[in-house]
Amino acid sequence: AGKVPKQIGFVLEGVFRFCYYNNKGIEITNAFVEENNLVGDYSKFDNRMAASEYCQAVTDCRLLVFTRKDFEEINNTVIGWDKMVPKIFQKCLLETIEKRSSLVAEDATTRYLSFIDKFPNLANRVPLSQVASYLGITQQSLSRIRKNIR
């Protein structure tokens, strides 16, 4: 956050998260990005604007990294690349919003069950504190929920 993104990555292995700090200084996990997805704020990257969120590797990761120069070279080589990339990132963003929006109207237990359904591989790969933050609940509440559904 606060810096202009200079690279965009394609996640080969691992998990990333996007997070920010609210006005009380509490860290909020906004999104998770798993394998076979692009990671980075393309809009900020493309427009050379400072990112408003932090991007953090949650697990050990392997990435295919693209710089602005790489994007320009691919754009000059692949016909229609300049039109494909925004669509790819738009699709990723819409998927993230879709996964997140259903969590807003649900109670905490339903949110956790939805999280497990939508992200079946994440629950055992990321710290529970980050899952709780993503769900908008405390880690203690998440532990209680997990205990009650076993």
Q: What is the pLDDT of residues 48-70, one digit of tens each?
A: 999 989 999 999 999 999 998 99
With 90 as the cut, is the pLDDT of residue 1 above it?
A: no
Q: What is the pLDDT of residues 108-148, one digit of tens each?
A: 999 899 889 888 888 889 999 999 999 989 999 999 999 99
Residue 71 in contact with residue 138, Cβ under 8 Å? no
The dihedral through the CA atoms of 130, 23, 39, 89 has a sign that is positive
Q: Average pLDDT, stretch 35-42?
A: 87
Q: Which domains does the chain have, with CATH numbers?
A: 7-149 (2.60.120.10)
pLDDT of amino acid 85: 79
With 90 as the cut, is the pLDDT of residue 99 above it?
A: no
